[in-house]
């Protein structure tokens, strides 16, 4: 079964740091670019960050640029989001989402699989 | 950045009746390869988003055929031919043509009257 499982969410104080993880199973992780998408309580979806298969291309939303760092470990089939200088407005459920298989897929396959999400709350 | 605008924001529907959600983009979503990368997602209460439709009108595996997508350029529509109780949730459109960033509509909440 194709699956993404996030972990690492917690309650953290403003200015603090947190590292989220997403572990993949059921597909060839190293062939897929990956994304983080977040959803503040009661709000809509906001794309956060993208990383290519080899980590050679990385993008961030302006709202997190300079504070968050996306990374991946293909050997461990895992995706990470290092979140620094956290603010109250970073409070959200964070989802990892699969992009597409660079070898056999296309843009039309993007965002087809999502994890269950992990909750990050930033509050004093 | 491409702005995605959905309407209505709330959609009360009787069971068995049709529902229609509109999504408009601030610029054409036709990609350089000729395809239009417009997705629709369903988010049931307490669940992660689930992709229903990709490239405007293609249903994902397991999606009931009462869901259909249409449109072109900057105007798109998601239709539910006969709403069922399990269709309650929030629906989002998302563009995958002009990135980064990938952008979503604000969401449309479908509820049963």
Give me the sign of the Cα torsion angle A28, A29, A33, A35. Answer: positive
With a cut of 90, say whether residue B77 has pLDDT above it.
Answer: yes
Classify residue B30 by its DSSP letter: B
Beta bridge partners of B49: none
Q: What pLDDT score was predicted for residue A102?
A: 84
Q: Tens digit of pLDDT for each residue in A29-87?
A: 999 999 999 999 999 999 999 999 999 999 999 999 999 999 999 999 999 999 999 99
Identify which of B49, B58, B96 has the shortest CB distance to residue A110.
B96
| Dihedrals phi, psi of A93, to nearest 5 degrees | -85, 130
Q: How many CB atoms lie within 10 A of CB B60?
A: 16
Which of B48, B101, B106 faces A117 most closely, judged by CB atoms?
B48
Q: Do B100 and A112 touch (CB under 8 A)?
A: no
- Looking from the CA of B107 toward its CB, the CA atoms found within 13 Å total 16
Residues of A with CB under 8 A from a CB of B: 35, 37, 44-47, 50, 59-62, 95, 107-112, 114-117
Q: What is the pLDDT of residue A95?
A: 98
Instruction: Supply the pLDDT for residue A104.
Output: 86
A114 confidence band (pLDDT: 50, 70, 90): very high
Percent of chain B with pLDDT over 70: 100
A109 vs A103: CA distance, rounded Å: 12
Q: What is the pLDDT of residues A12-24, one digit of tens each?
A: 999 999 999 999 9
Residue A105 has pLDDT above 90, yes or no: no
Q: Provide φ and ψ at B80, rounded to 5°.
A: -115, 120
Interval B24-51 mean pLDDT: 97
The residues, ordered by sequence, that sit 6+ positions from A105 with a Cβ below 8 Å of its Cβ are none
Nearest CA in chain B to A111: B51
Amino acid B49: pLDDT: 98
- B28-57 in b/e form (b: 16+ CB < 10 A) is ebebeeebbbbbbbbbeeeebbbbbbbbbb
Query: Which residue on chain A is closest to B101 by alpha carbon?
Result: A61
């Amino acid at each position: 079964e194709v699956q993404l499982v996030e972990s690492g969410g917690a309650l953290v104080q403003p200015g603090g740091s947190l590292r989220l993880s997403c572990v993949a199973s059921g597909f060839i992780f190293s062939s897929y670019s990956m994304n983080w998408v977040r959803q503040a309580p009661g709000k809509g979806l906001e794309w956060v960050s993208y990383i290519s298969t080899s980590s050679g291309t990385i993008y961030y939303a302006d709202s997190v640029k300079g504070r968050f760092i996306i990374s991946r470990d293909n050997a461990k089939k895992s995706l990470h989001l290092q979140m620094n200088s956290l603010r109250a407005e970073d409070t959200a459920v964070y989802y990892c989402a699969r992009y597409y298989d660079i070898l056999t897929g296309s843009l039309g396959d993007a965002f087809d699989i999502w994890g269950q999400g992990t909750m990050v709350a930033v509050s004093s | 950045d491409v702005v995605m605008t959905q309407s209505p924001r709330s959609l009360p529907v009787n069971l068995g009746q049709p529902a229609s959600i509109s999504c408009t983009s601030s610029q054409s979503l036709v990609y350089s390869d000729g395809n239009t990368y417009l997705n629709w997602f369903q988010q049931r209460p307490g669940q992660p988003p689930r992709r229903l439709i990709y490239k405007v009108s293609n249903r994902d595996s397991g999606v009931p055929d009462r869901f259909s997508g249409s449109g072109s350029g900057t105007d798109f529509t998601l239709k539910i031919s006969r709403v069922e109780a399990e269709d309650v949730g929030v629906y989002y459109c998302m563009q995958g043509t002009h990135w980064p960033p990938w952008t979503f509509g604000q969401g449309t909440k479908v509820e049963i009257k």
